[in-house]
């Protein structure tokens, strides 16, 4: 190993990990090779591992540290805390060798001069070495010091970084991953500060952190210095960008979520106070921390970084990146980048599905938060407010308990390793607690708000991260099932099997299934769960003189230009997230098909919806879209689809028109769509008709002249062919899509579609639940079958066997 004590940051590279640590090697590598691509990284210098070793040997600390380390029991919190504190005290009370002080001083003066400052502000970051850094993140194991000014503060911060090599969390972490404490060295980076205290900062991942979906970039950010985002002290803004469309030049921000961001870290005002935490302003709380053009630029840089490291390592190498926007210059900078260590280590094509088996679970929900991972776990609640050695609850924490706390930091890892689940009041899904929970394979629900008040010490709870983006905490032990399979288990079938996807939150998780696209994406789920407001109430709430409604809508639409912009953006993002997950396969998006009683239940809906005797066969679907009473709301849907296709680049979106009674009505819908910016055939837009009315079947040849395909809605078709209300329990025993009358209708449609040379598919539960119904469809030559994700594997198996039997019969 080189004996160099000081090294310029831009002189380091990946080959120098043993000398400068993983973090510094990565920064140096990027400065050398990514700066020419336009990626901006602050300059700095490195105190090498040789410098750390020199310090330790100068003070003869090796043997004393070794003795203390041998006495530490990492499964005993008290032993770990006492031993770690003793080692850190040894280091911080030891002096620097004189020549080391001189070299650090000279390097600091040169950096200040480079930035044309007498005394420049720097960040002092630890950088550990390890044999294969992509195998373990080491995130947050050592300390970082921000806004360090002057040689005295710098030397003190460097020494504290040295000492942080022996934090309780670092000792425990190395032990859990089997790293030899004395075969890993420590380096320190001294890097010019980015004035994000006046701007914004955060983290970005070059994949979806929950599902491992490769084509997404996930960005979390907040105002001020980035430590609060990393620590999970604030709930950050979140942005998701779709890589393939961004590469083609589209503005592919497929999701934006406004975080709470109630605090920020800034430079301190008091003497000796480097940083301080202050409240954010109302304007900051109500607006996104970075504009769209910065989101897109950052995403481009993240893709450049991922591409470079993947080439360097000769394998896919997803990246975990820290970024900052300087509030003075408004420039974006990358301040750290490391390999992501969770999904990159997973074997491709294997997955386990968790599913709750309690139909009445909604009544047992105690709290909600952000789901981390996709697992479910039960255990006894331990509410901890600190890790102080006097905290008996911390000392009594047992394997399989559920950790409930305000937030975690790296010091909590010895406890986190024992937990069945982790629940916190604060944090986002890229905070340190979330990263470590994923690494440990422990379900976590972060950002719950008041979990420490809502959950009681000793209470038995179940934490579920298997129901979408929202994590749910239930009272008691809730039964659940797991199904594990490998993609090699899926047989090749000739009949394309698609998915029905309701929730955009789940789309990335289902993207790994070898399906052929989405046969049904329901807009009403997005409107109900993400928009929550009746579209006409959004547009006209101020004239209703309903102050409570207006206050609620103003709160929901925070961060958006106006109410129309909110609706268009949220709906387009929900649709785009599903479309991006299955790109480039077609995704059939059905225009809203709420019934009047369902629209009534949306916020403000009571002001606009009629009372119908039988909403199931009333004012729904196509009849709404062109009606004077509702058309302006439908135009918002058209604008959202147009935005997703043309601005986000998701041309795989196909629109589907539901409950369209006549060809004349279809043409009226087309006229309304054109008014909203959508026109069949223009820019490749295809339109599918939901074939769910007897009139759709009887007049199929006429309808076929005006659409690009049919999708059988077997639920409504069965209802209307058999003349029953599927909401009525009194006639539920008659409802059966396998009835010969229904099957005759399906046969008629398939034959008419074949004559017109357009495809016909089916989206419904019938083929999943009834193998004989699936056999009928395959025998009739249906062009595709779309099922719910939980039925996918079962349906593929059934279709495979049917197709094999048919081949034998034909032979």
Task: Give the integer Cα–Cα distance in Å for 441 and 775.
Answer: 40
DSSP assignments along 173-207, one per residue? HHHHHT--TTS--EEEEEEEPP-GGGSEEEEEESS
Catalytic annotation on 432?
yes
> Which of 140, 160, 198 has its CA nearest to residue 23?
140
Residue where the block lists tokens 């939150």: 505
| DSSP H helix total and E strand total for the chain | 31, 30
Out of 432, 534, 541, 643, pick the active-site residue: 432
Marked catalytic residue, from 317, 465, 660, 763: 763
Place of tokens 């709430």: 541
Cα–Cα distance measured from residue 186 to residue 300, given in angstroms and rounded to the nearest whole number: 32
**Distance, CA of 256 to CA of 218 (rounded, Å):** 10
Contact 185, 129 (CB under 8 A): yes
CA 364 vs CA 361, 420, 424, 462, 472: distances in Å: 5, 19, 19, 10, 10
Neighbours of 457 (CB within 10 A): 12
The DSSP output letter for 227 is H
Residue 584: asked if its preceding bond is cis (omega within 30°), the reply is: yes
- What does the DSSP assignment read for 345-407? GSPTTEEEEEEE--TTGGGGEEEEEEEESS-EEEEEEEE-S---TT-HHHHT--TTPEEEES-
Note the maximum CA span of the chain: 94
Asked about 705 being catalytic, the answer comes back as no
User: In degrees rounded to 5, what are phi and psi of residue 442?
Assistant: -105, 130
For every residue of 25-63, DSSP letters joined together read HHHHHHHHHTGGGT-----EEEE-HHHHHHHHHHTT-HH
Alpha carbon distance, N-terminus to C-terminus of the chain: 71
Q: Distance of CA 437 to CAs 356, 442, 704, 712, Å?
A: 21, 5, 53, 43
**Among 1, 33, 36, which Cα is nearest to 17's?**
1
Which of the residues are catalytic? 432, 763
């Amino acid at each position: 190993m080189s004996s160099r004590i000081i090294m310029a940051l831009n002189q380091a590279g990946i080959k120098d990990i043993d000398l400068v640590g993983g973090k510094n090697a990565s920064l140096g590598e990027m400065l050398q090779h990514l700066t020419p691509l336009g990626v901006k990284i602050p300059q700095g210098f490195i105190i090498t591992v040789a410098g750390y070793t020199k310090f330790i040997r100068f003070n003869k600390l090796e043997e004393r540290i070794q003795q203390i380390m041998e006495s530490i029991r990492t499964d005993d919190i008290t032993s770990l805390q006492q031993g770690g504190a003793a080692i850190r005290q040894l280091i911080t009370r030891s002096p620097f060798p004189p020549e080391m002080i001189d070299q650090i001083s000279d390097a600091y003066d040169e950096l200040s001069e480079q930035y044309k400052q007498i005394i420049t502000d720097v960040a002092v970051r630890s950088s550990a070495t390890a044999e294969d850094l992509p195998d373990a993140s080491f995130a947050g194991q050592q300390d970082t010091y921000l806004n360090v000014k002057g040689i005295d503060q710098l030397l003190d911060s460097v020494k504290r970084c040295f000492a942080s090599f022996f934090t309780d969390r670092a000792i425990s972490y190395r032990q859990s991953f089997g790293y030899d404490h004395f075969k890993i060295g420590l380096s320190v980076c001294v890097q010019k500060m980015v004035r994000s205290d006046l701007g914004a900062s955060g983290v970005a991942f070059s994949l979806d952190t929950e599902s491992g979906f490769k084509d997404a970039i996930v960005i979390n950010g907040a105002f001020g210095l980035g430590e609060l985002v990393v620590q999970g002290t604030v709930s950050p803004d979140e942005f998701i960008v779709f890589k393939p469309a961004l590469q083609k030049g589209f503005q592919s921000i497929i999701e934006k979520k406004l975080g709470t961001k109630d605090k920020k870290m800034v430079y301190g005002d008091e003497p000796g106070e480097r940083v301080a935490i202050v409240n954010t302003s109302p304007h900051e709380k109500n607006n996104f921390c970075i504009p769209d053009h910065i989101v897109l630029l950052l995403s481009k840089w993240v893709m450049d970084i991922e591409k470079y490291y993947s080439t360097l390592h000769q394998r896919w190498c997803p990246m975990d990146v820290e970024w900052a926007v300087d509030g003075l210059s408004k420039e974006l900078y990358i301040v750290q980048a490391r390999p992501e260590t969770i999904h990159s280590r997973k074997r491709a094509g294997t997955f386990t599905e968790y599913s709750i088996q309690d139909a009445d679970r909604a009544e047992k929900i105690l709290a909600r938060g952000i789901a981390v991972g996709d697992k479910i776990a039960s255990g006894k609640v331990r509410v901890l407010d600190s890790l102080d050695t006097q905290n008996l609850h911390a000392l009594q924490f047992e394997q399989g308990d559920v950790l409930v706390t305000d937030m975690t930091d790296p010091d909590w890892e010895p406890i986190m390793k024992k937990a069945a689940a982790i629940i916190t009041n604060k944090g986002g899904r890229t905070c340190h607690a979330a990263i470590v929970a994923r690494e440990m394979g422990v379900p976590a629900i972060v950002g719950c708000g008041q979990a420490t008040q809502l959950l009681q010490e000793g209470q038995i709870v179940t934490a579920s991260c298997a129901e979408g983006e929202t994590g749910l905490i239930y009272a008691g032990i809730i039964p659940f099932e797991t199904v594990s399979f490998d993609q090699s288990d899926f047989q090749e079938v000739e009949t394309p099997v698609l998915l029905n996807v309701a929730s955009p939150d789940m789309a990335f998780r289902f993207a790994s299934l070898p399906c052929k696209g989405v046969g049904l994406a329901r807009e009403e789920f997005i409107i109900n769960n993400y928009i929550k407001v009746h579209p006409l109430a959004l547009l006209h709430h101020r004239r209703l003189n309903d102050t409570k409604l207006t206050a609620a809508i103003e709160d929901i639409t925070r961060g958006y230009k106006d109410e129309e912009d909110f609706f268009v953006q949220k709906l387009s993002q929900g649709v785009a997230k599903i479309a991006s997950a299955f790109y480039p396969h077609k995704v059939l998006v059905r225009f809203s098909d709420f019934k009047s009683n369902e629209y009534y239940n949306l916020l403000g809906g009571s002001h606009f919806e009629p009372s119908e005797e039988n909403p199931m066969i009333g004012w729904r679907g196509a009849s709404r879209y062109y009606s004077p009473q509702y058309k302006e709301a439908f135009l918002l849907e058209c604008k959202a689809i147009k935005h997703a296709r043309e601005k986000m680049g998701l041309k795989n979106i196909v629109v589907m028109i539901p409950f369209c009674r006549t060809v004349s009505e279809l043409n009226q819908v087309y006229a309304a769509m054109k008014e909203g910016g959508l026109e069949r055939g223009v820019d490749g837009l295809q339109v599918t008709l939901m074939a769910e009315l007897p009139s759709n079947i009887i007049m199929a040849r006429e309808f076929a002249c005006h659409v690009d395909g049919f999708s059988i809605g077997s639920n409504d078709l069965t209802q209307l062919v058999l003349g029953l209300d599927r909401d009525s329990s009194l006639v539920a025993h008659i409802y059966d899509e396998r009835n010969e009358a229904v099957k005759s209708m399906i046969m008629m449609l398939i034959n008419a579609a074949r004559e017109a040379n357009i495809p016909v598919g089916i989206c419904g539960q019938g083929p999943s639940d009834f193998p004989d119904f699936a056999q009928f469809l395959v025998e009739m030559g249906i062009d595709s079958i779309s099922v719910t994700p939980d039925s996918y594997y079962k349906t593929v198996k059934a279709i495979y066997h049917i197709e094999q039997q048919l081949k034998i019969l034909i032979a």
